[in-house]
Amino acid sequence: MRFTVTSPAQDDRPVYLTGNFCNWALDIDALQLQPIGDNQYSIDLPVDETWPDPIEYKYYRGGEGSIELNALGEARPNRLAPRGVDQLTDFVPLWQWDGASYRPNWLPNYTELSLAYPKTNAPRRIRVLLPADYDASAKRYPVLYLNDGQNIIGAGEGFGSWSVEERMALLASRSHHELIVVAVDHGGPARLTEFTIGKTLRRRGNGEQYIAFLTDVVKPYIDAQFRTQPDAAHTGIGGSSLGGLISLYAGLLRPDVFGKWLVFSPSLWVAPGIYEQVAQTPLPPYVRVYLYGGEAESATMVSSLQRVHDSLNCPDIDCAITQISVDPIGKHEEWRWSREFARAVDYLFFNYVDDPVPAA
């Protein structure tokens, strides 16, 4: 039997095979795969009729705490194969490091600042995540602005967190961490007003002012202080729930600023008129949109996302490339948005699509 595995992860540790055919023993020299090309390893094993059928197996990087992971940094089920099959070809996107799903030195650098919000002049907390190797290069980086900053970094404040710093460390394994993330806090009690525009089913929104804060205050400051790629094709806006709604609005109103839209579980029900705005807004060719929702969030979440997708106005046949990701058991929860974050970044900024991972 020939086992061949490909992995894009930056990792120079040896690759081993283990399974029920060896009682899951580790670090057996005879089960070390050999490199056969860029990020590709292989081993030929003679079939032993005493092996279980089917065989169960996994790849690992040597020793405990180095087992293969799925694209979301989670443990994956044992692989299965009929005993005696000629060839098995597998893909491993990520690996454990000492039992963790990422290397600690891949965590992004953290900077906190505050900027005055328009009219009120109240300080608004802004947190910036820089690539772990930011200081070691002179590169310029794309930027992703995320709304609801209170729930983006660390443990979160109230409803959980996306733990974006950990997701960026996961992305670093394939050099997809080369992105500056800017988490912008919402206005607390003013959140609904800030994240909606015009007449809504709840109250009249003033989201244009919040968007102007991003485009006229936050972004110029970030571009001046950090090595960014300031053009719209390298600038994203994102969020979930009401934060997803205002991200969609920001993209529609200012596609000259925001060319990447990360829209998770948007509260479209609050603003039923947004579909007409989506249809009437011509989009430039560099726009990319990532839509995510869970079928267990509401009866209309997935159909509403599909309606947004179908309404996108794209005069250029190559523009508004849109990805819709649907979790069949997904609920309106921060940890699910955290789980989806790396996929969205891969798609929006690196034109990379992972193999789908089953819902959990």
pLDDT in tens, 118-153: 888 999 999 999 999 999 999 999 999 999 999 999
User: Is the Cβ–Cβ distance between 95 and 68 less than 8 Å?
Assistant: yes
Taking the CA atoms of residue 142, residue 148, residue 152 and residue 156 in that order, the dihedral angle to the nearest 10 degrees is 170
Q: Among candidates 249, 272, 296, which has minimal Cα distance to 202?
A: 272
In terms of average pLDDT, the best of 173-177, 218-222, 349-353 is: 218-222
Give the pair of three-digit tokens for residue 323: 């990805």
For the ranges 48-57, 63-72, 194-203, the one whose mean pLDDT is highest: 48-57
Helix or strand or coil: residue 343? helix
Structure tokens, 179: 């992105």
Q: Tell me if residue 21 falls in helix, strand or coil.
A: helix
Look at the block and give the residue holding tokens 């709304």.
Answer: 147
Give pLDDT tens digits for 5-52: 999 878 889 999 999 999 999 999 999 999 999 999 999 999 999 999
Do the Cβ atoms of 73 and 170 come closer than 8 Å?
A: yes
- In the chain, the percentage of residues whose pLDDT exceeds 70 is 95
- Band (pLDDT 50/70/90 cuts) for residue 317 is low
Band (158; pLDDT cuts 50, 70, 90): low
pLDDT of amino acid 359: 47
pTM of the model: 0.87
Peptide bond into 54 cis (omega under 30): yes
Q: Where are the alpha helices (DSSP H) in the chain?
A: 164-171, 191-194, 207-213, 219-225, 242-253, 274-280, 301-311, 334-350
Residue spans per domain, the chain: 2-95, 104-350
- Confidence tier at 360 by pLDDT (50, 70, 90): very low
What is the third-level CATH fold of 104-350? Rossmann fold (3.40.50)
Domain 2-95 and domain 104-350, same fold? Reply is: no
Looking at residue 248, what is its pLDDT? Answer: 98
Place of tokens 């110029």: 220
Ranges of beta strands (E only) in 131-223 are 143-146, 180-184, 197-199, 204-206
Q: Is the sign of the CA dihedral 349, 324, 328, 306 positive or negative? A: positive
Average pLDDT, whole number, for the chain?
92
Q: What pLDDT, on the 0 to 100 scale, is given for residue 200?
A: 73
Q: Are 147 and 239 in contact (CB under 8 A)?
A: yes
For the domain 2-95, what is the CATH superfamily, name and number?
Immunoglobulins (2.60.40.10)
* Confidence at residue 206, expressed as pLDDT on a 0 to 100 scale: 87
Q: Tell me how far apart the alpha carbons of residues 51 and 23 are, in angstroms, rounded to a whole number.
A: 10
End-to-end alpha-carbon separation of the chain, Å?
32
Q: Which amino acid is at 176?
A: H
Each residue's pLDDT tens digit, 191-204: 999 999 987 776 78
